[in-house]
A and B are shown apart, each in its own frame.
Chain A
Amino acid sequence: MIHGFSTLHPRLCFAYFAVLLLSCMMFTHPVYSVLTLLSIVLLNLSLDGGRLLKKGIKGYLIMAIIIFLLNPFFSSRGATILWYVFDRPITLESIIYGALFALSLLNILLAFVAYNLVITPEKLLYLLTPIAPRTAFIITVTLRFVPLLTRRLKHIMTVQRVLGYLHPKASKKHFMREGMETLHTLISWSLEEALQTASSMRARGYGVGKRTSAVSYKMDKRDVLVSWIMVVTGANIVIGGLFGVNRFQVYPRLQSLEWSPQIWLHAACYLVFIFIPIVMNGKEELLWRTIRSKM
């Protein structure tokens, strides 16, 4: 694991993904989409060598390809008709639109893979605590009780199987009834145990006053530097986006790529912004390589 981008202040990481995901959704410019794809794939590779990416990539690609293929058949918008299939016009615009739409969907899905690697549940809780302290607390407690209840359920089912109540050849109706009994046992048992949990919480002062949080992330020098870069470039991206600097029109007629000074600036800011984590992780990687070669 590379400790570059992931060790940034959680708020910065979260802000990065917020801007990235918004851009994936809002920007349809093909150059932007390709750049985004490139950066997200690189980010995934630099985070865990692409292991998590490999797990889901097949499904994501299939989904993207289906969208790409189906869009022209369902939409006949656009001025440039290429050919007819079953008397329906297939237009260049709808093919391009399908491709761009598929690409931005793929970007969003892959961005979430990276998001899961960077924003761990603990960080998410830290981010959530100031906004919704009770919700954050409930989430933590739930995280604890899910495995506990699963284990209890397994114990109960073992006993029921051994008593001869749950057996594979039983009818559906029988199975349902036994399932209800199992749940009944689980719930009454867990409620009984929960009384003790409540005692233990009270014994340690739950509900006495306002809760504080033991986890704290302080902004260090690097965080401040990165946050400045993110603010400057991010502001450019958002303002430019709002004014439609990088607008790309597909319908009614495919627009050719035009490069004005504004869009150059906007694209440069976007490039810098989305490559922040890759630069950080890459630097770390290089550092390790030089250390290793010096040894």
Chain B
Amino acid sequence: MAHYQIEDVSFQYPNCSEKTLDHITITIEEGEFVLLCGPSGSGKTTLLRQLKREVRPEGNRSGSIYYRGIGLDQLDERRSIEEIGMVFQDPDNQIVMNTVWQELTFGMENLGYSTAQMQRRVGELVQFFGMEEWLHLPIHELSGGQKQLVNLASVMTLRPRVLLLDEPTAQLDPIAAKEFIQLLSRINEEFSLTIIISEHRIEEVVPHATQLVMLNQGQIAYLGTPDQVMKQIWKDEDALFLPYLPSIGRLYLEIEKASDARAVPMSVKEGRRWLAGKQEQRQAAGKSLSESVKVDWEQVEPLLTCKELYFTYDKNAPLVLKRLSLSIHEGEFFALLGANGSGKSTLLQQIAGAHKPQRGDILYAGKSLLRKSTVERSRMIGYVAQNPMLYFTRDTVREQLMDRLRRLSEHSSIEKLNELVARFDVESIMDKHPFDISGGQQQKIALMLVLLADPKLLLLDEPTKGLDPISKHRLAELLEMIRAGGTTIVMVSHDIEFAASYASRCGLLFNGAMVAVEDTRSFLQSNYFYTTTIHRTVGDVLPEAITVKDVWEQWGN
């Protein structure tokens, strides 16, 4: 008997003209690892929420969902809570209690387990999840990755048979995300738990998945094993889903044309094995990359110079920035990479003027920024924080933008706003509440609020976090457009693939200082860990290649 049978399910939110889910039929066997993909707004979250009665949204529902042959509505309440576990996107929002220990027992306390039972289950679980060290810490002292582990563990205390996960790693950094996915795969392997996960970072999840479901506008676009689906997307040349393909898989399909029956390689190891068998391609490797006009950024006049910055948040806290020096040149797109907590965001906020450095100076076009007032500064430098929600104080997008315009008075104009609205293509959402639009759209609005002041320098804090591949691509186009308009961009990011494709220079921040600053290609070439999967796969054959495009240029025809 199938674990889940989703039969012809359609769903429509109240006051919504279109169906969010449109005749979905999927059968999921026990122990499967199902990956749900699709652009934001395609109905992934809605579909996941249909699978657990307690979190089902209100609306018009048709079709039926069976859990082990029982209609979801007939399922016993306790069984539904215990056997179907759900983990949501934001690590912070789902935590209710104050300490890790309390949070772990929350579900069991609700269901009236005995104390002895709870102690035993927590005891077992803490070992498996490796959280002995921080079991008694208050939640606010944990990192995002740890919080998400707590959320998963808290659901696991009820010994579920299915895990539903709604973009669980969207808010995590790549390392924490990888650890989380590996843990999920372990749970899947060792307990044969059925896992249904929606995710944008398909590269990490796809090697574990047994079924891949691609959703588009509430309908199933593709369904099958990852291998089948990827080949099918390639054959259809589906522009909407091509960006979803992991880069190694994409490279394979570009070269092999999906002609043979072999499986698409998904990891660097498989990719290298495949390449090793392609001797004849190595011969062609002599062809060098057609260098697009290469700019020597060091020669360009620096727009912004950080001189030996020292900064700490508190008298007794360790230094976040230690003698940090950095020059940003006019017209470039600079990507600032580095581990979590290395001070990337702090540096960005320093430049933006949120905090003053304890020592050192920041020069903007040769003049010190520290003596300028924050109002003056905010017109020269635009800063877009990680979370666009921070920018919204009004009830509609239009009011929000008009408010900003009013505050800027003579420094901006309604023409400027109209131009931005047209360029960013947001006319359709102008009268919606800023909280009701998608994450990508929210980010656009935050970007517009900042751009209204027409800054010469734009600072972006993790702009690609939580975005689907298509939104990422659109963002890149927008940034390219902004850059063409004469604005210099500095971006903090964990997304190496994004930086590889679009940034002109990259820098690595470590231990409070810049340890490497080079143009993107040579930066990624000389890195071993901090580089793209493509470079790791083809690096010894094509040392210059860092993206699929590069390889294609050298091997193509």
What residue of chain A has the Cβ atom nearest to residue B101's Cβ?
A: A214
Pick the contact of B109 from A159, A164, A212 — CB < 8 Å? A212
What residue of chain B has the Cβ atom nearest to residue A189's Cβ?
A: B389
* 22 A/B residue pairs, CB under 8 Å, sorted by A: A143-B98, A148-B92, A158-B385, A162-B352, A162-B374, A162-B378, A162-B383, A164-B379, A168-B374, A169-B373, A185-B389, A192-B435, A193-B92, A193-B93, A196-B93, A204-B110, A205-B107, A205-B110, A210-B112, A212-B114, A214-B115, A214-B122
Question: In whole angstroms, what is the CA distance A76 to B257 when docked?
Answer: 105
A200 cross-chain contacts in B, Cβ below 8 A = 86, 88, 93-96, 151
B52 at the interface (CB under 8 A from A): yes
Question: B112, A140: Cβ atoms under 8 Å?
Answer: no
Q: Which of B304-312, B320-328, B390-398 contacts A (4 or more CB under 8 A)?
A: B390-398
A208 at the interface (CB under 8 A from B): yes
Pick the contact of B90 from A140, A147, A196 — CB < 8 Å? A196
| Least CB distance, B1 to chain A, in whole angstroms | 24
Question: A208, B378: Cβ atoms under 8 Å?
Answer: no
What residue of chain A has the Cβ atom nearest to residue B450's Cβ?
A: A163
* Contact-size category for B: 35 or more
B414 cross-chain contacts in A, Cβ below 8 A = none
A283 at the interface (CB under 8 A from B): no
| Least CB distance, A108 to chain B, in whole angstroms | 29
Question: A155, B390: Cβ atoms under 8 Å?
Answer: yes
A201 cross-chain contacts in B, Cβ below 8 A = 96
Q: Which residues, 417 to 443 on B, are CB-close (under 8 Å) to A? A: 435
A197 and B140 contact, Cβ closer than 8 Å, known pairs A185-B390, A204-B154: no
Question: In whole angstroms, what is the CA distance A213 to B117 when docked?
Answer: 11
A171 at the interface (CB under 8 A from B): no
User: A-B pairs with the 6 shortest C-beta distances?
Assistant: A164-B378, A214-B105, A200-B94, A204-B107, A147-B140, A196-B93
Which residue among A122, A169, A203 has the maximum number of chain B CB atoms within 10 Å of its CB?
A203
B101 cross-chain contacts in A, Cβ below 8 A = 214
Question: A144, B389: Cβ atoms under 8 Å?
Answer: no
Question: In whole angstroms, what is the CA distance A169 to B55 when docked?
Answer: 48
Question: B54, A202: Cβ atoms under 8 Å?
Answer: yes
B387 at the interface (CB under 8 A from A): yes
- Which secondary structure characterizes the binding site on chain A? helix
Q: Which residues, 354 to 387 on B, are CB-close (under 8 Å) to A? A: 354, 373-379, 383, 385, 387
Question: A144, B392: Cβ atoms under 8 Å?
Answer: no
Q: Which residues, 189 to 231 on A, are CB-close (under 8 Å) to B? A: 189, 192-194, 196-197, 199-216
What residue of chain A has the Cβ atom nearest to residue B81's Cβ?
A: A205
Question: In whole angstroms, what is the CA distance A45 to B55 when docked?
Answer: 52
Question: In whole angstroms, what is the CA distance A163 to B451 when docked?
Answer: 11
Question: In whole angstroms, what is the CA distance A55 to B86 when docked?
Answer: 46
B78 cross-chain contacts in A, Cβ below 8 A = 205, 208
Q: Which residues, 112 to 156 on A, are CB-close (under 8 Å) to B? A: 122, 140-141, 143-144, 147-148, 151, 155-156
B155 cross-chain contacts in A, Cβ below 8 A = 203-204
- Binary contact track B76-108/A, C-beta < 8 Å → 1, others 0: 011001100110101011111111011001111
B110 cross-chain contacts in A, Cβ below 8 A = 204-209, 211
A164 cross-chain contacts in B, Cβ below 8 A = 374-379, 407
A161 at the interface (CB under 8 A from B): yes
A185 cross-chain contacts in B, Cβ below 8 A = 389-390, 392-393
A184 at the interface (CB under 8 A from B): yes
Question: In whole angstroms, what is the CA distance A215 to B450 when docked?
Answer: 50
Question: In whole angstroms, what is the CA distance A158 to B111 when docked?
Answer: 42
B435 cross-chain contacts in A, Cβ below 8 A = 188, 192
B393 cross-chain contacts in A, Cβ below 8 A = 181, 184-185
Pick the contact of B81 from A166, A167, A168, A203 — CB < 8 Å? A203
Question: B385, A155: Cβ atoms under 8 Å?
Answer: yes
Question: B119, A214: Cβ atoms under 8 Å?
Answer: yes
Question: A167, B374: Cβ atoms under 8 Å?
Answer: yes
Question: A163, B378: Cβ atoms under 8 Å?
Answer: yes
Question: In whole angstroms, what is the CA distance A155 to B393 when docked?
Answer: 14
Question: A196, B94: Cβ atoms under 8 Å?
Answer: yes
A184 cross-chain contacts in B, Cβ below 8 A = 393
B158 at the interface (CB under 8 A from A): yes
| Least CB distance, A162 to chain B, in whole angstroms | 4
Question: B379, A148: Cβ atoms under 8 Å?
Answer: no
What residue of chain B has the Cβ atom nearest to residue A163's Cβ?
A: B378
A264 cross-chain contacts in B, Cβ below 8 A = none
B118 at the interface (CB under 8 A from A): yes
